[in-house]
Amino acid sequence: MDIRERLLTALTWGEPDRVPLTIYEHDLSRGDKERVLREHGVGLVTRLPAHTVGRRQVEVNTREYWENGRRLLRRTLRTPVGEVWQSLDPEGPYHSFQPWIKEHFIKSPDDYRVMEFVLRDEVYHDNFNAIREAQRRLGGDGLVYVRLGKSPMQEMLYQMLGMEQFAVDFAFRRDLFDSLYHTMCQRYEELYDFAVSSPVEIILMGDNITGDVVGEPRFRQYVAPVYKRIKERLAKTGKLLAVHMDGRLKPLLRAIADAEVDIVEALTPPPMGTVSVAEAREAWPSKALWLNFTGSLFIAPPEEVEEHTRQLLTEAGSKRGFAIGVTEAAPMEALERSLAVIARVLNDY
């Protein structure tokens, strides 16, 4: 089997020749060490949106400035009803591709009206040619899937409000909160249609779920219904829905079991996460697990990495419905060293 076949076989509950091992394409630097790792079975994952975004009346301006010796960015969205802005640190940890948000778009009640205008102003087009080109380039060395971004409430939390403002507004400005949420749900229906029609096997929602922030009541009311709507669209297409759930999931064991999701992607085992592979297998027997290998182990000695990998395999109990991925940035030297150990263990297994 090539890596693509191995991964799709495992995630559809077939019997792969060995447990798949993957890493996000941008997290592995090109070079001789990367080539050796790929020859030993490390697969690449390319994530692309199914759509592109255009704007009719909204103007997007980004300017660079310096603060305490550090380069930052300020991104402003100007609309006929006002403007909102966010500040970004473009240098994520270990040269991560995604900038850190230092200040979020929504800081006051008036900002909700602006964000709703921004959403209604957007025009979407398909991104299918870019997806097909990525598939042609990658071939059997990995998998290209559609990344939908986050469901509306998670997008509000991570991209628009931040945790503190989210908590305040959810408690005291629910009318504004729910109005923005419903506007996002309406607009995102178009994005789901593009994703379902795209030429991929897996659609992933990058929700970054963590139970002690989302909470079971909000997960059931605001998040799980979005998965249900997407799954209804996927009926009879053969495509699978994966959700990025890399946080502390113990408070959501039952809610995730009830959610209409095919693959729990980026499940992070202890000591970083709170749900072990054994617990996940018992709680979610019909959901495939595509792990995020426990990031704190990358800086551990090789023998600890090997022991942890063997523990994960023992708890999984089967190659069916199981894959190991790397979804977090890490120091490159440590990442390369540990990936070599994980790949060797999987090849032996």
Cα separation, 201 vs 106, in Å, equals 35
Task: For residue 145, list its beta bridge partners.
Answer: 47
Cα separation, 23 vs 327, in Å, equals 6
> What distance lies between CA 139 and its chain's CA centroid?
22
pLDDT for residue 91: 81
* Residue 239 C-beta-side C-alpha neighbours within 13 Å: 25
pLDDT for residue 95: 56
Per residue in 289-306, pLDDT (tens digit) is 999 999 999 999 999 999
pLDDT for residue 329: 84
**Residue 271: cis peptide before it, omega within 30 degrees of 0:** yes
Q: In 10 A of CB 129, how many CB atoms?
A: 9
Query: Are the C-beta atoms of residues 248 and 273 closer than 8 Å to each other?
Result: yes
pLDDT for residue 49: 98
Per residue in 108-164, pLDDT (tens digit) is 999 999 999 999 999 999 999 999 999 999 999 999 999 999 999 999 999 999 999
Q: Are strands 263-265 and 59-67 parallel, antiparallel or unpaired?
A: unpaired
Per residue in 64-79, pLDDT (tens digit) is 999 988 899 999 999 9
pLDDT of 96 higher than 80? no
User: DSSP assignment of 174-189, as one string?
Assistant: HHHHHHHHHHHHHHHH
Domains of the chain: residue spans and CATH:
3-50+127-348 (3.20.20.210)
Query: Are the C-beta atoms of residues 305 and 292 closer than 8 Å to each other?
Result: no
At residue 126, what are phi and psi to the nearest 5 degrees? -75, 155
pLDDT for residue 72: 94
Matching residue, tokens 């592109």: 52
3-class secondary-structure state, position 311: helix
User: DSSP assignment of 120-148, as one string?
Assistant: HHEEEEE-HHHHHHHHHHHGGGEEEEEE-
At residue 61, what are phi and psi to the nearest 5 degrees? -125, 135
Q: Give the torsion sign (CA, 55, 56, 58, 62).
A: positive
Per residue in 248-276, pLDDT (tens digit) is 999 999 999 999 999 999 999 999 999 99
> How would residue 313 be classed by pLDDT, with cut points 50, 70 and 90?
very high
CA dihedral 201, 205, 210, 211 (to 10 degrees): -90
Query: Are the C-beta atoms of residues 102 and 88 closer than 8 Å to each other?
Result: yes
